[in-house]
Every structure is written in C-alpha cells, then in structure tokens.
Amino acid sequence: MFKATPNPPETAAVSPYESADSNKLNEAAERALDFHFPSIADIKATPRTPSTLFTVDPAATTETLVVYLVETLASVDVMVHHLVDHLDGGARNALLGISNSIMLAEITANRVLDQIEPLQ
C-alpha cells in the first residue's frame, strides 16, 4: 500500500517573527503571559505584607497565646468527633486521622505550657 503523504507530512518552517504583524502579535502574547503568569523570581521578589484584618494583640503573653491554642484545639477536636459519629468508611477514618493530629498538637501545646514560667 502506498501513502500519498509522507509520515509525518513535510511542512515549511515558518517563524512567528516572519512579518511585522506576526511579530506584534507574538509580543502581545508574551506581555499577556508575563502579566498573568509572573515568573517565580518576580513572586519571590515581592515583599510579604501581612494582613491586619485579623490580628493578635502584640501585648498578649506567650502563656495566654498557648492557653488559647490549647482551648481552640480541644474545641476543634470535639467538633471533629461530632462529625465522626455521622460517617462511615473512608470519610470516618480520615476524620479520625485529623482528630489524632489535633490531639498531638494539643499535647504538644500543653507541654509548652508546662515549660512556661508563670508570671509572678
């Protein structure tokens, strides 16, 4: 059997810079790509400005912050356990895994609390 076209078909080499119009179109495309997809160097060079919408009181002591952390972790663990009661299978196992992580974080935060010198 004879194929009428070679495999792959032969094509003429065409450059996107062949005419003035195609050059302008390519430059516009490059500008659009640079705008919407900045390089990693540009992203890393941008200084991080923390949001002040939700801030923690700078005068709060370490002990106060850790106590709040422990209470928050305990509350989240209770919420997870209420959800676990309504699930079966993989979703239940995933939530129990999350609960274990919360428990470990809570134990760690309690250990930090144990090591903090109480204020006199």
In a domain, 77, yes or no: yes
In a domain, 90, yes or no: yes
Distance, in Å, from the CA atom of 49 to the CA atom of 41, rounded to the nearest integer, reads: 17
In a domain, 101, yes or no: yes
Per-residue pLDDT of the chain (120 residues; tens, 9 = 90+): 666 666 766 666 666 556 667 778 888 888 888 888 877 666 666 677 777 888 888 899 888 999 999 999 999 999 999 999 899 999 999 999 999 999 999 999 989 988 887 665
In a domain, 14, yes or no: no
In a domain, 50, yes or no: no
pTM: 0.52
The pLDDT of residue 103: 92
Reported as type and span, the H/E element at residue 13 is none
E-assigned strand segments in the chain: none
Which structural domain, as residue segments, surrounds residue 96?
Answer: 62-115
Both tokens of 30, joined, read: 């490059």
| Total domains present in the chain | 1
